[in-house]
A and B are shown apart, each in its own frame.
Chain A
Amino acid sequence: AQSVAQPEDQVNVAEGNPLTVKCTYSVSGNPYLFWYVQYPNRGLQFLLKYITGDNLVKGSYGFEAEFNKSQTSFHLKKPSALVSDSALYFCAVREFFSGNTPLVFGKGTRLSVIA
């Protein structure tokens, strides 16, 4: 069965500093990987996804993520954090094979960017 682990409940970073939110996954075959962000009282918003090809994926709001197959990781990164990036971040995985598989989410990491 597929699963996602986000090892950090909370990440604190100073404004202007680089940020990393960690995600590791477990699937039987190849994965489709996604990052979503959730602001207070808002639904989840899609940030970026990895399907195939270049391991470095660029997404919305200056975020990027690096797919590392050997480490089964898909960490979210941003070179310079903004206070407005403070939110709850979810990593999700879907297994690549024929048939229907659901999108499985991690438990989320709360990012706090301090001015």
Chain B
Amino acid sequence: EAGVAQSPRYKIIEKRQSVAFWCNPISGHATLYWYQQILGQGPKLLIQFQNNGVVDDSQLPKDRFSAERLKGVDSTLKIQPAKLEDSAVYLCASSLARRTRWSEAFFGQGTRLTVV
């Protein structure tokens, strides 16, 4: 089966600019996650969707980050305006169902963002 698709793979922007990342999860996966992975750290959850509804966005910096999952399939994550500390790899992941808490998540290759 096809994996989680993300684009772009790399992005370089200046601080205060805006940027958007796109994710297409594995077909049939109701749960979608966006993680931020800063160099030298483990991934940190930004937001979790169940279908097109937000389940957890407690760690999303809502003053500058936004995410949506229209129609419960693809998702976009936006940063506006970007700060230097937003430089990281943004990982999208999906899993089969929220209730199945033991389900593993499948990750995309990530988007490496550099803010200069």
Contacts and interface: CB of A to CB of B under 8 A. Distances in A.
Interface of A: 4, 32, 34, 36, 41-46, 49, 51, 90, 92, 94, 96, 100-108
A49 to B, nearest CB: 6
B42 A42 contact: no
A51 B55 CA distance: 22
A27 B59 CA distance: 19
A100 B55 contact: yes
Contacts of A94: 101-102
B96 interface: no
Q: Which of B41, B104, B105, B108 has the most CB of A within 10 A?
A: B104
Interface of B: 4, 33, 40-45, 48, 55-56, 91, 93, 98, 101-102, 104-110
13 contacts: A32-B101, A43-B109, A43-B110, A44-B91, A92-B42, A100-B48, A100-B56, A102-B45, A102-B48, A103-B45, A104-B45, A105-B42, A107-B42
Nearest to B9: A41
A21 B101 CA distance: 24
A96 B102 CA distance: 9
Q: Is the interface of B mostly helix, strand, loop or mixed?
A: loop
Contacts of B55: 100
B102 A41 contact: no
B101 A43 contact: no
Contacts of B98: 100
Contacts of B56: 100, 102
Contacts of A34: 104
B41 A107 contact: yes
Contacts of B93: 43-44
A97 to B, nearest CB: 9
B31 to A, nearest CB: 10
A32 B102 contact: yes
A43 B102 contact: no
Contacts of B105: 46, 103
